[in-house]
Amino acid sequence: MSLLVVGSVGYDTIITPQTTGKDLLGGSATYFAISAGYYSSVTLIGVVGEDFSPEDEALLVRRGVDISGLERVAGKTFRWTGKYGTEDVNLRDTLDLQLNVFDEFSPVLSPEQRRADYLFLANIDPEQQLKTLAQMESRPKLVAADTISIWIETRRRRLTDVLKSVDVVFMDEGEVRAFGRELNLVRAARAILDLGPVAVVAKRGEHGVLMVQRDSMFAAPAFALDSVVDPTGAGDSFAGGFMGYLAETGELSSENLRRAAVVGTVMGSFTVQALSVERLASLTRGEVEERLRGYVELTRFEGLESSEDLPWRKMASVI
Amino acid sequence: MSLLVVGSVGYDTIITPQTTGKDLLGGSATYFAISAGYYSSVTLIGVVGEDFSPEDEALLVRRGVDISGLERVAGKTFRWTGKYGTEDVNLRDTLDLQLNVFDEFSPVLSPEQRRADYLFLANIDPEQQLKTLAQMESRPKLVAADTISIWIETRRRRLTDVLKSVDVVFMDEGEVRAFGRELNLVRAARAILDLGPVAVVAKRGEHGVLMVQRDSMFAAPAFALDSVVDPTGAGDSFAGGFMGYLAETGELSSENLRRAAVVGTVMGSFTVQALSVERLASLTRGEVEERLRGYVELTRFEGLESSEDLPWRKMASVI
């Protein structure tokens, strides 16, 4: 099935307690497309400047990403500089942000792209997300969207319009709370479900994800790693694995959304093991299968399924 | 099997964004013993002052806790006042701490107590934990210990002696990192395993637990709740369910430790639904079974166990 992603392609400068990397290939659409590309064909809509390197373009092509919708215009590519804390690797500061050519970006879809079956609106301005949606010839089988704090603070109304039009919402847990205006994550996610989506996936960094649906919830812890180099792009790699798996399997049941969340979790776990897309872009099927087995092992427990499995003390003195 | 806990029994004043409670029954040994008491017989070693109410004593007895080792001495009972944040319910400030009779506490075990099969050393001064261990007539089948930041900062050497002598260590994830002197949780936990324990259970509050053993890891997310009233005692209730389950089933395999972690998670989830032990102390077997079923449902996924389950895109252009 065809999968379309609209989002940023850019260069990141990353400072972590252990390492620093300058002008590394990044951007939400980049991580998403490379991750999704292992499962389904994927088309990327975005914009880069004259400084976007032929090597990075070649990398996307080599990963099977259709970049016919990646515009190249005069000016510089989107750039971001982020620093991760020494205390908590989940916390990061933006040291510098240059929208550059992304500032004027307005997605334009080709006739074929307008008929995509699966659509992912990465964390760009809600106005651009709505512009993309408006171009779709028919309603895709599934539309998912991500967002970031800045749009919750400055574009709440337009973001609400986006959320009313999509099926799956990906947000960091703090963003779910902020948008839902609720400290309790489950209630905050339900406030978003009330707008229309069938699932809210709250991303909790190294703690995994909680997927909230109307009648069920699924908690998937993160894959536990003894080395995390750079968390950048983990959420977008998660979304890529999630959407790529759904687009390939074509089934939108709650059961399959759970499997998609597990595949997404596994994909995100590779991304954080190296700077940029270094690890994510070089995966073999065997490596992903092995980690998936590791994930099943990390989370499984048996022997508590039936009532008889639970020991219970007989207490004469207790009513 | 006999289970012994040495720890605090006290009165808490709790301030949360939603509610406030004054002089509520609390203390690590209290939560632990009530939780464990649903599964196995449990004996509590601790101390209270003259102000400890007969109603609270009766509650412990009614819950099947053997309080023959709960000393009553002249003076006031241990008191703690804590405030939970409006932004993050996992963060709390200690507003007031009065050790009172607990300051002079030195555990003294009866001949029978010295033969306990299972022992839990709650988060008291490592010196008192070691004094308890020294009194054991024979090595218990399993010894577990908890601790808190203050002992990591001020009693590191004695705490190291404790950790060298126990089988299972419970700590908040920040404490595991602080003790292990490692930002990465898995590596920090392994540094503790190097001292001797077979399992380190890193407690992550509303994100669940990560149990690290030499050859395996188990990640158990927390039970997702749409209402959390007061997180106080969740960790001790977890430990109580964990140890009570082990003491009753008597099996120390890695498989059974996983089940114990799930039972502990479920017990902790009840504690946070009300102030003090209000919810924890009034459970029926039916309620625990129902939540256990809910937990299996929250965490289960199927259809990704074998290699053939993973779709993988054939990419002609990719090496």
B166-202 pLDDT per residue, tens: 999 999 999 999 999 999 999 999 999 999 999 999 9
| Chain A residue whose CA is closest to B296 | A305
Inter-helix orientation angle B254-271/B234-249, to 10°: 140
User: Quick check: B186 and A225 CB within 8 A?
Assistant: yes
Give the pLDDT band of residue B209 (cuts 50, 70, 90): very high
Q: By C-alpha distance, which of A130, A146, A158, A112 is closest to A4?
A: A112
Q: How far is CA A151 from CA A46, A94, A126, A127, in A?
A: 19, 16, 7, 10
Please give the structure tokens belonging to residue B97: 């701490």
User: Quick check: B313 and A259 CB within 8 A?
Assistant: no
Alpha carbons A221 and A295: distance in angstroms, whole number: 9
**Mean pLDDT of all residues in B103-130:** 96
**Mean pLDDT of all residues in B229-239:** 96
pLDDT, position A163: 98
| Residue in the structure block whose two tokens are 């099969």 | B117
Alpha carbons A21 and A12: distance in angstroms, whole number: 8
The mean predicted confidence, pLDDT, of chain B is: 95
* Residue of B86, B181, B285, B313 best to disrupt the A interface, most CBs of A under 10 A: B313
Give the pLDDT band of residue B122 (cuts 50, 70, 90): very high
Q: How far is CA A262 from CA A3, A65, A135, B38, in A?
A: 19, 22, 31, 34
Structure ipTM over 0.85, yes or no: yes
C-alpha Rg value of chain B to the nearest Å = 20
User: Quick check: B313 and A39 CB within 8 A?
Assistant: yes
* Residue of A313, A314, A317, A318 best to disrupt the B interface, most CBs of B under 10 A: A313
User: Quick check: A301 and B220 CB within 8 A?
Assistant: yes
User: Quick check: B313 and A62 CB within 8 A?
Assistant: no
CATH 3.40.1190.20 is right for the domain spanning A3-298: yes
Q: By C-alpha distance, which of B4, B7, B20 is closest to B276?
A: B20
Q: How far is CA B224 from CA A181, A210, A229, B227, B230, in A?
A: 18, 8, 29, 9, 14
Could you tell me if B136 and B114 are in contact, meaning their C-beta atoms sit under 8 angstroms apart? yes
**A58 has a chain B CB within 8 A of its CB:** no
pLDDT, position A31: 98
Which residue pairs from B183-191 have beta carbons closer than 8 angstroms and sit at least 24 positions apart in sequence?
B183/A17, B183/A86, B183/A87, B183/A89, B184/A225, B184/A226, B184/A227, B184/A228, B185/A206, B185/A224, B185/B210, B186/A224, B186/A225, B186/A226, B186/B210, B186/B212, B186/B217, B187/A226, B187/A227, B190/A226
**B253 has a chain A CB within 8 A of its CB:** no
User: Chain A window 171-190: which residues touch B at a Cβ cutoff of 8 Å?
Assistant: 183-187, 190
Residue A316 pLDDT exceeds 70: no
User: Chain B window 195-224: which residues touch A at a Cβ cutoff of 8 Å?
Assistant: 204, 206-208, 210, 212, 216-222, 224
Alpha carbons A164 and A168: distance in angstroms, whole number: 10
Alpha carbons A211 and B114: distance in angstroms, whole number: 47
pLDDT, position A79: 97
Q: What ranges make up the beta strands (E) of A99-172?
A: 118-121, 142-146, 168-172
Could you tell me if A232 and A82 are in contact, meaning their C-beta atoms sit under 8 angstroms apart? yes
Highest average pLDDT, of A38-42, B14-18, B310-314, comes from A38-42
Give the pLDDT band of residue B123 (cuts 50, 70, 90): very high
Beta-bridge partner residues of A209: A203, A220
Within 10 angstroms of residue B141's Cβ, the number of other Cβ atoms is 16
Inter-helix orientation angle A28-36/A54-62, to 10°: 30
Q: Which of B248, B315, B318 sits opposite A313 (nearest CB)?
A: B248
**A258 has a chain B CB within 8 A of its CB:** yes
**A32 has a chain B CB within 8 A of its CB:** no
Could you tell me if A200 and A189 are in contact, meaning their C-beta atoms sit under 8 angstroms apart? yes
| CA dihedral over A121, A124, A127, A128, signed as positive or negative | negative
Give the pLDDT band of residue B316 (cuts 50, 70, 90): low
Please give the structure tokens belonging to residue A319: 């009513």
Could you tell me if A202 and A191 are in contact, meaning their C-beta atoms sit under 8 angstroms apart? no
pTM score above 0.90: yes
How much of chain A is in helix, strand and coil states, percent to nearest 5?
40, 25, 35
User: Quick check: A89 and B216 CB within 8 A?
Assistant: no
The mean predicted confidence, pLDDT, of chain A is: 95
Give the pLDDT band of residue B319 (cuts 50, 70, 90): very low
Inter-helix orientation angle B285-299/B254-271, to 10°: 110
In B, which residues are within 8 Å of A304 by CB distance?
Answer: 259, 262-263, 292, 296
User: Chain B window 120-149: which residues touch A at a Cβ cutoff of 8 Å?
Assistant: none
